[in-house]
Structure formats: C-alpha cells, structure tokens
Amino acid sequence: MPSRRSILAGSAAAAFMAGAGSVSRAEASPGGLDRAALQEALDRIVATGATAALARVDGPAGNWRGASGVVELGRPARPVAGGRFRVGSITKTFVATVVLQLVGEGRLRLDDTLERWLPGAIPNGARITIRDLLQHTSGVFNYTQVLFETVEEVLSARYHTFRPEELVALAAAQPPVFEPGTAWEYSNTNYVLLGLIVRRVTGHAYGKEVDRRILRPLRLHGTEVPGTDVTIDGPHAHGYEPFEQDGEIVPLDFTDLNPSMAYSAGEIVSTTADLNRFYRSLLGGRLLRRAQLAEMLNPVGEERYGLGIYQQPLPGGPTLWGHSGGIFGFVTFSFSTPDAATQASVSINPWLGDFSPALIDLLLAAFGVTAPAARAAAPAVRLPAPGFRLPGA
C-alpha cells in the first residue's frame, strides 16, 4: 500500500448536491490576495466532492478566510469560516515540537533508543531511535492496518476508549516492516510511542504538555487535545464516510467518535486560524531552539519528511513546509512558506471523487502563483493526506 495516501474526494451524490451550492461570503482584509480565485477554488472543492470546506490564508499579501458547503446534509445552514474540525495527522507536528523542546532542554536525545524510554514496548526497540520514530524510519508496523481492517471493526471501535498501550500492542504483535533506519514508511504507531515517551519523560500526559508548551503560549484558543471526548465543541461542519446500505452508497455521519483511537498520532481539534499561527510560530523560531528547528527541517527520502513535518513542492512557487491529516469525515492541509511569512490551511469534509485539482488551485492562489506554466504543471502535484478512512473508501 502507498506510504502516504493521495486525497480522493469527489463527484457529489444527490444527497448533498442541492446543498453544496450554498456558499458563505468570503471574509477578508485589504491586501494583494486574489480573493475571488480563492473562494472560487473553495467552492469547486465542494462542487467536486465535499459536503463542506473551510480555508484561511495569512501573509504579507493580506488575510482571507472563506467557507463553502453545508454544516450538515439535509440542512441549508452554511459552515462558519472560523469553525472547528479534526486535524488528524497534523497532530504529529505538535507532538514532534514537544519532543524537540525536550531535546533542547537536555531531557532526552534524538539518538536515545525506544527501549531506553519504553522497555519492551516493541521487540526490536533497542535498535529504534527517537529520530526514527519522528521521521518514520523505524519500521514499526502501523497499528491502524489491523485495527480498521473491515467496516465492522471501524464501527465497533468508533466509541471505544483505547489505552495507547493497546494500540502499541497491536503493532508489536506484527513483524517489523523493515530494519530501523533502512527505509521510510508512514506509521501512526511511531507517534503513539512518542506520546508515551513524552509522558515518561515529563510525568504528564502528552496532551498536557502540548497545552502548556504550545496552545497556551500561542493563545490557540480554538485548539484542544480532546482525549476521550467524542464531540467537537463549538461551531463545526459534520463529517461523513461512504457506507453501503441496501446496495447503495450513502453518507454515514462520522462527526462524533472517540479520538483515543488516534491518541498522539491524530486526535487534535483546531481551526484554520490556529493552525496558521502554529506553523508561523514554529517556522519563525518561536517554539524551538535553532539547533532543534534545523533537525526538524532536515527531510529524508522521496517523501521529503522531516521530524513531524514535510516539504510540499508547489509548481512555480515556494517549497512549502507543513503537514496534512485525515480522520473519519475530515481531511486537513496546513502549509507555510519556509520563511514563515505566509500560511494556508484548508479543512475539507470529503465525499466521493477527486477534489484535488481545486485544492491545488486554492494553494496556488494562496501562495501567489499566477504563472501559466506553473498552473499547467499543477495537475502533477501530489497532495498526500495520511489518515483514517473506512476500508474501501
């Protein structure tokens, strides 16, 4: 299976096409952004296969936020541009930041072994380093591949409270994918292990450290580590997964779920404004010391993955830094220019088909790419979105 999944969204079902044309008015401040192009691209994301989409751009050219679609199928209410959503694997950048802060404080080292901090957690833990976990070169099996093998298993796990040790045990029961440090493959287990290491080093749950070290200092009031809270507090659009019923594919509302299934690999809830501020602060040097930020931004392999963050080429524009993520009913992308000047975040509630061309157009507009040659090359851009989906979705 591919190491990181390309996004599929899609041709809209009749169940929501009537509501998909309900578009919010874009909100913006004066500046040089092409707001019409941004809103048109956001509307096209919905038209080609999402029930709702939110986006925000912040930078020297101006600030803009927009929304499109509906809050919930069957209801005409429009989503709130500043609404909240599940960010999935973008959680990994928050966790990596905390780990690297601990490295900068001398409380652990990137070359420390997994066995040192979590003895016996993984059979070959003495050969796996903290760096391997952060950059997905550990070879540790991805627990979600066995936890969510069938639709029935997903539905059974939806409201179940998982202990992180249970998730690790699922991976530990499987053979390594490869020898540590010899290859690259995305594994959610890596970041569950890192969350447990943060707890071992600090004596606090990783979520408390994220709150103390990142959320409160940056005043990210729309962001939380929900733990076992199955609901999303505050304004939010509903998320859906395709479900076969009586021989037809119908939308299954998956907005509520127990995020302990993702733990430190993907449980955070946030807003587009908070994600933009987080990546601006991170790449601007506010959260990490220079040495640790340099380590984070040292990508490996064809995937260009650093430590909890990856590079995303943009034709005719800058090579961006950021992350993407997906968890049932939600897909999110958040990127920044390397100089921390401009950020763009997009939250999508996908349905069937392919909205990636519209998403790429939105990113091109967000980062000021207007050259025809660059836009002609855009269809070749791959936007990975690792995450949790129903089997076959």
**Half-sphere exposure (Cβ direction) of 204: Cα atoms closer than 13 Å:** 12
- CB atoms closer than 10 angstroms to residue 2: 10
- Smallest CA-to-CA distance from 92 within 285, 327, 337 is with 327
Distances (CA, A) of 372 to 358, 364, 377: 16, 11, 9
CA distance 22 to 362: 19
Question: Is 89 noted as a catalytic residue in this protein?
Answer: yes
CA distance 85 to 108: 32
- CB atoms closer than 10 angstroms to residue 109: 13
89, 260, 270, 356: which one is catalytic?
Answer: 89
- Smallest CA-to-CA distance from 154 within 165, 145, 166 is with 145
Tell me the three state secondary structure of residue 333.
Answer: strand
CA distance 144 to 189: 8
Phi/psi of residue 250, nearest 5 degrees: -125, 155
The stretches of 9-75 forming alpha helices (DSSP H) are: 14-20, 35-47
Do residues 308 and 299 lie in contact, with contact meaning Cβ atoms separated by under 8 Å?
no
CA 373 and chain centroid, separation: 29
Longest Cα–Cα distance of the chain, Å, equals 58
CA 352 and chain centroid, separation: 19
Locate tokens 């064809």: which residue? 302
- Smallest CA-to-CA distance from 382 within 357, 362, 364, 365 is with 357
Which residues are the active-site residues? Answer: 89
